[in-house]
Amino acid sequence: MSLLKKQTVTAENEPQIKLPYRLIPFMNGRKWGYLFSVLVISLSLFCVITKGFNWGLDFTGGTVLDMSFSQAANVGEIRSTLEKNNIDGALVQNSGSVRDVIIRLPATLDSASVGTDVKQLLQNLDKNLVVHSIEYVGPNVGEELTQSAIYATLATLLMLLVYIGMRFEWRLALGAIASLAHDVIVTLGFFSLLQIEMDLTFVAAILTVVGYSLNDSIVVFDRVRENIRKIRRTETFDIINISLSQTLSRTLMTSATTLVVVLSLLIFGGPSIHSFSVALLIGIGFGTYSSIFVAIALAYDLGLKREHMLPPKVDKDDLDEIP
């Protein structure tokens, strides 16, 4: 008899397992989840190949101005002043204090004169403006940053694969890595589709999404392993449904509270962390989905069984030989 109609499970010589009020048959819909994931990933890769990315100044190079105002700087007024004078694409943000400002200008502008032009324009706002430095970042530096970002992401995924494989089981490790790759590709696809500017904060957001998604997957893996050891007369299919139902409220509450913070950053954080906020919003949303319909579902279809999650049996003869 399926456990989906029961509210408690009792195993011989084991404590009673409390189940949620209503069990949700997540695994019954895993094939629809696979179909949806394949569709979204295909669209994401199509956008990446055909449209590419809108690389920010951190990757393409440009001019960086470090300056201080005599009083609190109005970042919005600075940005609008530059736009009115046909200096588009400038990234304006505070640095250290409300009086210190860093302005990043794209490499498409004339690096020889744009720094002086910006200085003269902003001196109209504050005659006591002090420009500490005007630096030009070449495209070679941007290329090195791009390579470093790719290597950092790949190294993170590799180390996570080794960790989960040692901590749990190789089928779960492959499911978790597939889930992380799923979230990263979908996030890249959205950025390519909407042509949102990608800078170094985006790399930080991607690594944050990887950690968040992995945490969700490990919570599910731990609960599955715990229930497999406690519920001895039930198929792995039902145990996974039980475990997902037990962790569902925790997953939804964690995701909801996190998304509230991310939405606040997106709305009130300003343009300097816009790409960071958008990447977190997309990644966390799909990370919650993938931990259920990709990570554990793929591990099950790879042949995850009860014996794979049980501790190895110790031969009594081997114990007798221990002095």
Residues sharing a CB contact under 8 Å with residue 19, sequence separation 6 or more, in sequence order = 3, 6, 7, 8, 9, 242, 245, 246
Determine the pLDDT at residue 109: 61
HSE-CB for 321 with a 13 A CA cutoff: 5
For residue 67, report the phi and psi dihedrals to the nearest 5 degrees.
Answer: -145, 165
Per-residue pLDDT of the chain (323 residues; tens, 9 = 90+): 344 444 444 444 444 555 554 678 888 888 999 999 999 999 999 999 998 888 777 777 777 888 888 888 888 888 888 888 887 777 788 776 788 888 888 776 665 577 778 888 888 888 888 888 877 776 665 667 677 777 877 887 788 777 777 777 788 888 888 888 899 899 999 999 988 878 778 888 888 888 888 888 888 888 888 888 887 777 888 888 888 888 888 888 888 888 888 888 888 877 778 888 888 889 888 888 888 888 889 988 988 877 766 665 655 554 445 45
**pLDDT in the model for residue 44:** 94
Domain 26-54+142-308 indexed as CATH 3.20.20.150: no
Name the class of domain 62-137. Answer: alpha beta
Helix or strand run (H / E) with residue 93 = strand 91-95
One-letter amino acid at 121 equals: L
Q: What is the pLDDT of residue 5?
A: 45
Q: Are strands 97-106 and 91-95 parallel, antiparallel or unpaired?
A: antiparallel
- Phi and psi of 229, rounded to 5°? -75, -20
Nearest to 82 by CA among 108, 51, 113, 105: 105
Q: By three-state DSSP, how is residue 91 classified?
A: strand
pLDDT at 189: 92
Q: What does the alpha-carbon distance between residue 226 and residue 243 come to, in Å, rounded to a whole number? A: 9
Pairwise CA distance, residues 153 & 204, whole Å: 10
Say which amino acid occupies 298.
L
d(CA 208, CA 262): 12
Alpha helices in the chain (DSSP H): 30-51, 57-60, 75-84, 114-123, 139-167, 170-194, 200-230, 236-268, 274-290, 297-301, 306-309, 316-320
In one-letter notation, the amino acid at residue 115 is G
In terms of pTM, does the model score above 0.75? no
**How large is the angle between the packed helices 114-123 and 75-84, nearest 10 degrees?**
120
In the chain, ranges of CATH 1.20.1640.10 domains: 26-54+142-308
